[in-house]
Amino acid sequence: IQGDVLQGIEIDLQEAPDLFPIVSVLGLFASGQTVITGAHHLAFKESNRIESMIAVIRNLGGNIEPLSDGAIVSRSDLNGRTVDSFNDHRIAMASAIASTQCKSIVNIQNSDCVNVSYPTFFEDLNRLH
């Protein structure tokens, strides 16, 4: 897979708030800042996905600042650690994607929660990576 360098963006996820976890991970690898808004609905999902992703990204050494309805993410070098999935399939999958760019291994607690929506996620990710 090839492409241009990722550029930070400003994005309103009000119509697609479930994209917040993966967009916040992409922001870690983009130049500049990625400003994500419109995701206030995420407080009522399997976990509070804004708080969960802030915890995961900070635990991996990433730069993320909370907003009331999203976050500001900046390019970051990531380190491996154990992270919590918060028993949320989207948090687990976003954490796994982030792990592909970490300097060392990432262990995702309760990673089997991906079975809710994508039982073959880890197999497919391993084939791509």
Which residue type is seen at 7?
A: Q
Distance CA 123, CA 114 (A): 12
Rg (CA), the chain: 14
Residue 124 is among the residues annotated as catalytic for this protein: no
Tokens at 120, concatenated: 């073959």
Residue in 95, 66, 94 with CA at minimum distance from that of residue 82: 95
Give the number of C-alpha atoms closer than 13 A to the C-alpha of residue 16, restricted to the C-beta side. Answer: 8
Q: Which of 12, 18, 84, 112 is catalytic?
A: 18
CA distance 89 to 106: 16
- Which residues have a catalytic role annotated? 18
